[in-house]
Structure 1
Amino acid sequence: MNFYVDTHAHIYHEDFIKDYADMLHRCEEQQIGRIFMPNVDHTSIDRMMELESRSPQTCMAMMGLHPCSVKKDFERELYLVENWLSKRKFAAVGEIGTDLYWDKTFWDQQVEAFNVQIEWAKRYALPIVIHCRESLDKTIDLVEKVQDGRLSGIFHCYGGTVEQAERIIKLGFYLGIGGVATFKNGGLEPVLEAVSLDHMVLETDSPYLAPVPHRGKRNEPSYIPLVADKIATVKKCPLEDVRSMTTRNALALFNLSV
């Protein structure tokens, strides 16, 4: 595979409004062939769909409700998600999951919304892209309960242990590896050493979590090679191996051909 895939980038974010075309040009220069965009809630849908329509060969939309957007009115948000899923094909159901970092108030509602969207993923035969900040073990538990062979997807922004990674791999899911892998104290080197490339995909989570040397600045998909290079360094393998295997994994997961 002679191109990279960014499996998770919020390039519809307002941070990209002024230089979207330039950003895509930089992606082309860095051989970023596909960019998958996770939805957040009703506020992100229109912009995300607009970007997909402008660059349909590169930008692929997902549809889901982010756990941080699960509030008292989450049923209304879920109705919009279900309506969109019933109207057209999306790359995945995402970004969905749980979050105990920002607000623990709506945990029960987050779990309900997660389970509902998992069932939609099964219905439409789509992978899921999972957010699990400060809630990794609990989220793995939830997926283990409902995995019946019809679920696949990514544990996005993976930051756990080797043991947690093994549980995820056993479920048939990929680890989403991003900028945190390049951080001095990111803690991911044991995972990168232990886990085969067969179980990894690359991501940026743009505009967040930019890799070194851009840490603290706006992230963008053109930085994917920096993440790949870190993986290659840790695993002592050619960069081309990282690129080809992670791209192959992503295309297989999202059921796309080259």
Structure 2
Amino acid sequence: MFADALQRWPWPEDCTLPDVSPFTFTLDGGGRHLIQTVLQNRTNSIFAEFGTFMGGAARTWLSNNIGLRYVCVDPWGDDITDYVKSLSNVDWAARAYKTSYLEEIAELLSRYGPLRLVQNNLASFKDRCVLIRGRIPAAYSEMRSAGLVPDIIYIDALKRHEDFVEAHKIFPNAIITGDDWNWGIQADGAYPIRPYVEEIARERNGQIYADRATFVISEPRHELQFDDKWRYMSQSSA
């Protein structure tokens, strides 16, 4: 299955940039230890990240989990360049990275484009990593029709209901995880993606575990083991 995917979405021969060293640039909102817990004892699982950005999380999880097979999905459009350029004016980004570093990444993006940099960043893993340029939820159906069925899904995209529900429907056996759990608090104290994640958890008889930006839907059949302090209780069930 994964070998077929490598053939369907092949890497270009010139996937490295001689004058650019691979780098790990990630906008980590915290809590990714939960994902590492999911990955424990799941040798050779297929992990699909929807919203790969610059490949920073992919580099980390591929490095830390020998045997993990990885699917990166992202449109890798020019908006990434504009977004990185804007980060030097954002407090949380400025605290995480020096302005000079953000400017350097923005310059590389302007020169090479997002996809070429991601290829360069992940080229050392190309025997167990597939890059799919596309958008969800359409990419879900494309993957399924190609027989590429992930064991674990990580959603870090546009915070739309369909992005979550379609992943649940098209990949009913996958462990569903993601980012942005604490993103975008609204005037009423609600967070945009939480109702979508709660809906899926109810349908799967699952329990949500969350820490800062990261969430995991833990189902009995998957036998995941989390510290109970990360157990999420919704306001409606509290």
Rg: which structure is higher? 2
Which structure's relative contact order is higher, taking Cα pairs within 8 Å and 6+ residues apart?
A: 2
**TM-score normalised over the length of structure 1:** 0.35
